[in-house]
């Protein structure tokens, strides 16, 4: 189990946050676990819960895209609002294009990888 804990921590931190299923597949591809429901539920889910509770990995490393926070955007003041607005600004480079581009993905767990 200690080897598996190290493998969980050893998944590149650039992949954070990631879903539990993303972690499972990353460990499976590395040969650390087998592709079974028992490994997923009985091992990975349990170990990720335990390693977060033990503060081995931060809670922020695991995402759950099925749960949404419904809260209006709010700011500490005008200066904070302006910094956030500047940080989030993206010019629409496709506005005058004759075509549009869409990328479809069947796996929600991969959306975070694709969007970047």
Query: What b/e sequence results for 40-49 when a residue is b if at least 16 CB atoms lie within 10 Å of its CB, and e otherwise?
Result: beebbeebbe
In the chain, at which residue ranges do the beta strands (DSSP E only) sit?
none
Asked whether the beta carbons of 68 and 28 are under 8 A apart, the reply is no
Least confident of 45-54, 55-64, 107-116: 107-116
pTM: 0.55
Residue 70 has pLDDT above 80, yes or no: yes
Q: For residue 62, which of 80, 44, 76 has the smallest C-alpha distance?
A: 44
Q: What is the pLDDT of residue 12?
A: 63
Q: Which pLDDT does position 14 carry in this prediction?
A: 65
Instruction: Check whether 13 has a pLDDT greater than 80.
Output: no
Of residues 106 and 53, the one with the higher pLDDT is 53
């Amino acid at each position: 189990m200690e080897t598996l804990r190290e493998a969980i921590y050893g998944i590149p931190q650039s992949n954070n946050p990631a879903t539990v299923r993303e972690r499972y597949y990353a460990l499976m591809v590395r040969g650390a676990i087998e592709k079974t429901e028992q490994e997923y539920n009985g091992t990975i889910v349990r170990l990720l819960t335990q390693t977060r509770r033990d503060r081995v990995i931060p809670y922020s490393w695991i995402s759950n895209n099925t749960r949404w926070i419904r809260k209006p955007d709010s700011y500490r003041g005008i200066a904070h609002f302006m910094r956030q607005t500047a940080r989030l600004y993206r010019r629409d480079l496709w506005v005058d294009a004759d075509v549009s581009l869409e990328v479809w993905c069947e796996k929600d767990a991969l959306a975070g990888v694709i969007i970047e």
